[in-house]
Amino acid sequence: MRNAVHRHLGKVVAGAAIAVAGTAAMVAVTLPGTAGAGETGGNKAGAQQPVQGQGQGQGQEQEQAQGQTAVQPGVVEQAPAEGDKGKGSDPLTDDEVERAEQLAVSRQLFNASENVEGERGPQRLTVDLAEPEADAVDGQGAPRRAEVTFYDYWDDTLVTKTVDLDTGKVVETISQQGVQPTPSRAENIEAAGLLLADPLGAGLKADYKDATDNELTSPDQLWLSGGIYRATPGAQPAVLDKCGEHRCVRLFTKVKNGPWIDTRSLVIDLSARNVAELDR
C-alpha cells in the first residue's frame, strides 16, 4: 500500500480531471494542482515589469501622479440581514433550513434510523428549495417548500421529504434503496476516520509524514473530497460486492496547503464500516 500511494505523493495535476476508471461508476473530480498549496516568493503571475526604453513622457506622468491626492480606498458595505423567511424562488434562509429539517425528522423517523456514526437519527445530506408546482410557475404565489434528503444507515435507504414551510406539514415522502447521492462532508470525514483507523491507512499516514514531517492523526489535517463507489461483479474484492446497495466512498485526499496523496485504490464501506483495496 505504501509503495502504491507514495508513487503519487506530491504529483500536481494542473487543469485536469482525475476520472474514476475500471471498477467504479463515479463522478469525475478535478484536482487543481496548486489549490491550497503554499506559493514561493517572486513576482505575482501576470504582474507587468518595467520595459526598458519607454519614453520620458511616461516618467513625467508618473511624477505628476505622485503629486496628486491618493485615491481613497473603497468602502465595502455589509450584506443586508437575512430574513426569517424568503420569498418566491429566493434560496432558503438559515431559519428555513433549520425549520425544514426539524419538520422532516419525526420522532418515529429519528428513533428508527441511524446516521453515519452509528448514532440514532438519519444522516442529513441536503436541504433545498423544492420546485414549485405546475400551477404556480411564477413562484410568487407558490408556497415555500423545502426538499430534505437523509440517508438511513440502519437499512441503507435514501429518504426524501418535501415540507410545506407555510403549513408546517410534510406533503410527500419518498424512500429509495440503491440510490447513492454524492457523500456529504460529514460522511467524507467519517470515511477518512475509518481509513486512518484501518491497517490500510498506513500508506496515507506515511506519505503525510513524508510531506509534512508531522504525524497524521485526524481527518481535520486533510482536505477531503469523496465520490460514490459502485461494485462491478468480479472486478474487485468480494468484500465490496455490496457497494451500491451499501454506501461506499472513495476519497481524494490532500495535505492542507500541500500535495495530493493518491488514495483512489481504497474504498470505505460506510454501511459495513470497513476498508478494502481494489484489485489491480
pLDDT at 246: 97
| C-beta atoms surrounding 231 within 10 Å | 22
Residue 136 has pLDDT above 90, yes or no: no
Residue 25's pLDDT band, with cuts at 50, 70 and 90, is very low
Long-range contacts of 163-172 (CB under 8 A, 24+ apart): 163/100, 163/103, 163/104, 165/85, 165/96, 165/99, 165/100, 165/103, 167/143, 168/103, 169/103, 170/103, 170/104, 170/106, 171/145
pTM: 0.69
Q: At what angle do helices 185-197 and 202-212 cross, to 10 degrees?
A: 100
The residue among 148 and 32 whose pLDDT is bigger is 148
- Core vs surface per residue 178-214: b (16+ CB within 10 A) or e: eebeebbeebbbbbbbbbbebebbebbbbbbeebeee
Q: What mean pLDDT is predicted for residues 6-27?
A: 38
Q: What mean pLDDT is predicted for residues 33-40?
A: 41
The residue among 223 and 29 whose pLDDT is bigger is 223
Closest C-alpha to 244, from 173, 156, 170, 175: 156
Residue 138's pLDDT band, with cuts at 50, 70 and 90, is low
- Percent of the chain surpassing pLDDT 90: 59
Residue 243 has pLDDT above 80, yes or no: yes
Q: What mean pLDDT is predicted for residues 142-148?
A: 90
